[in-house]
Chain A
Amino acid sequence: MSDSKKMSGSGEIPFRNPGWAGNTGEFDLTEEQVRGLEYVSTRPTDGGHPAASATYPYMLTERTPDASLFQGPYLERYEKIRSRFPTAQGALLPTLNLAQEVRGHVSSDTMREVAALLGLSDAYVRGVASFYTMYNKREVGRFLIQVCTNISCNLCGGDEVLAAFLKHLGTEMGETTPDGLFTVTEVECLAACGTPTAVQINSRYFENVTPDDVPALLERLRSEVG
């Protein structure tokens, strides 16, 4: 373990850009440009064009666990999604995604609602939902911090980054901080292995994260929710 420590935080990787998904400090683009937000801007809640109305397992920092699921723009979005598949079952993952996007997690009740909407059995929906790791079966912190500790990040200190998050927050893995803000977990490779350590926080990637970056990163997140 001490082996990887030498690599992390020592500035040995010349391209460092902690805090956001850029690859390097030499990059003369803004964070919005690198993340693509400038181009995408804010996607409409109804999802826009049916082909592009894809849903994502995490999205919003604001969560409303009791929100009604398929109403207004969200119903519109669901109908667009449904129109892309020859069977109702085909829309199951996007619909579960949508539910998580709205409520922040997929509870048993949510699964039942989704099952009813698509005409599937509760047990079937539960079987599928429990297969995929991105569905939160229970509530998580407003910021779900997932640290990659797979091989490429591990070689460059992923374990230490994970430890730093846990240390600064004083939590165990998977536990939510008392203020409800943070849950830290370990995650498998995030496909950002060239910029280790990769950390996913809700929908955003943070790359080149070292243990030293952790306090500032947490501060930044705290300030985002005011």
Chain B
Amino acid sequence: MAYPYTHEKEVRVLSRGWGDPRTRTVEGWKAMGGYTALEKALGMSRQEVIEEVKVSGLRGRGGAGFPTGIKWSFMPGEKKGPHYLCCNADESEPGTFKDRELLRWTPHQLIEGCLIGAYAIQAEHVFIYCRGEFFEATQVLARAVEEAYEAGYIGKNILGSGQDIDITVFAGAGAYICGEETALMNSIEGRRGLPRVKPPFPAAVGLFGKPTTINNVETLSSIPHILNNGGSWYRQWGTEKSPGTKLFCVSGHVRRPGNYELPLGFPLEELIYDVCGGFREGRSLKAVIPGGSSVPIMSAADCEGCTLDYEGVVEKGSMLGCASVIIMDDSTNIVKQVRRMVDFYAHESCGQCTPCREGTQWLARILLRIEKGRGTAEDLDTLLELGDQMTGTTICVLSDSAAAPVASSIQKFKDDYLALIRRGEKVGAA
């Protein structure tokens, strides 16, 4: 009963139970050593729990890579009212497909992580915000939450510790922007998913105006293992600055796309050619987007010697993001794919900021023009200038994310653009 995509180089910590339906139940999860971390955490002080997570060096898996222990320590120590923990299961970044697996195969791993997190930040209520499309995964999670209530892991006085922690499963309704942390909070409050201006930061004014921490599914799913085995155990994998294992979502033109759990710092080329089986007959590498559609695109040359940790990818001019590695072979029409990504951002912009609302539409129109052979060389300058104006000027970074693939692809694949422009000029397309 093996999960379909496995490779001997994988280190399966979070994904160990995938493909085995038994892990969905409380009993099955306990048989895998589940819920012992919760017991252990409840016997420790909150500071000790946070300290253990700090020692592990775990960094947020939602994209930004912010150290989780430090994020937790921003929460007020003295409690004046309710605190909230939000779990971000809105997974919608193109190229990312790990959280869905964590939800539907190992829901109790996540629940246990949520409970430990809630204990550490003194939250009495956890909202797990699942994207609306995840009907099946959300159902599995909801059933698991119900079971965990029945077993006394969630609710009043959990495991006789005197702690009350509730968990509520929440389904969104189709909006990429609700993955942005403050938009997600607005969405739970029954508003449109509009990102908020920061500061104030969620740790001060968050969900329903109360101190709130928000963490990704994968981040919280890592917590039970760190508590069980200790922060330094987690550091046996990865690099000094990017410790631990990470789920790599590999998609695109490789023979074996899928989720692979590997130590951070894993060589990108080894991932492509060994773990994922390389390309189809006669095809070769053209480009890689290493962290989901929001990060700059890399050329084949950039991939040489690139290691997949937060720092290694930055060195090569991109970002690790949520480690969603999109791989393109030499058959790829880069302009078309960039245009498709920009269409996505134009569709998903919440419309609050002019550079983003207008800019994404402009980018999309100009790119389509170029793709159809009606572009001019000046269009490239316009695209770059637009991208500049869209970067660092808006409430959230969706705007920057839309500009990143455009600027980087013009920089690295200018010939692809020029070929389309020249072809258009030659046939005199109007």
Contact = CB atoms under 8 A, between A and B. Distances in A.
Given A13-B257, A188-B347, A52 B143 contact: yes
B97 interface: yes
B331 to A, nearest CB: 4
23 contacts: A14-B255, A36-B21, A40-B142, A51-B169, A52-B149, A54-B168, A54-B171, A57-B171, A89-B190, A93-B190, A97-B171, A131-B350, A132-B132, A134-B132, A150-B94, A151-B252, A154-B336, A189-B93, A189-B344, A191-B96, A193-B249, A193-B326, A196-B251
Contact of A131 (B24, B168, B175, B249): B175
Given A13-B257, A51-B154, A152-B326, A134 B173 contact: yes
A127 B192 contact: yes
Given A15-B4, A131-B175, A150 B340 contact: yes
Contacts of A134: 132-133, 172-174
B131 interface: yes
B340 A149 contact: yes
**Interface size class for chain B?**
35 or more
B213 to A, nearest CB: 18
Contact of A43 (B139, B187, B277): B139
Contacts of B130: 54
Given A6-B331, A196-B257, A203-B136, 14 more contacts: A7-B253, A14-B256, A39-B21, A57-B173, A58-B135, A89-B189, A127-B192, A128-B191, A128-B192, A155-B332, A191-B96, A193-B95, A193-B326, A200-B133
B91 interface: yes
A91 B154 CA distance: 21
Q: Do most interface residues of chain A lie in helix, strand or loop, or is the interface mixed?
A: loop
A166 to B, nearest CB: 18
B176 interface: yes
Contacts of B85: none
Interface stretch (A20-28, A173-181, A218-226): A20-28
A90 B280 CA distance: 50
B146 A48 contact: yes
Contact of A51 (B138, B146, B347): B146
Interface in B129-153: 130-140, 142-143, 145-146, 149
B132 A57 contact: yes
A8 B344 CA distance: 22
B10 to A, nearest CB: 14
Interface residues of A, number: 77
Contacts of A57: 132, 171, 173-174
Contact of B4 (A26, A33, A43, A48): A26
Interface string B158-173: 0000000011111111
Contact of A132 (B92, B174, B252): B174
B271 to A, nearest CB: 13
A164 interface: no
Given A188-B344, A194-B259, A52 B146 contact: yes
Nearest to A189: B94
Contacts of B67: none
A35 interface: yes
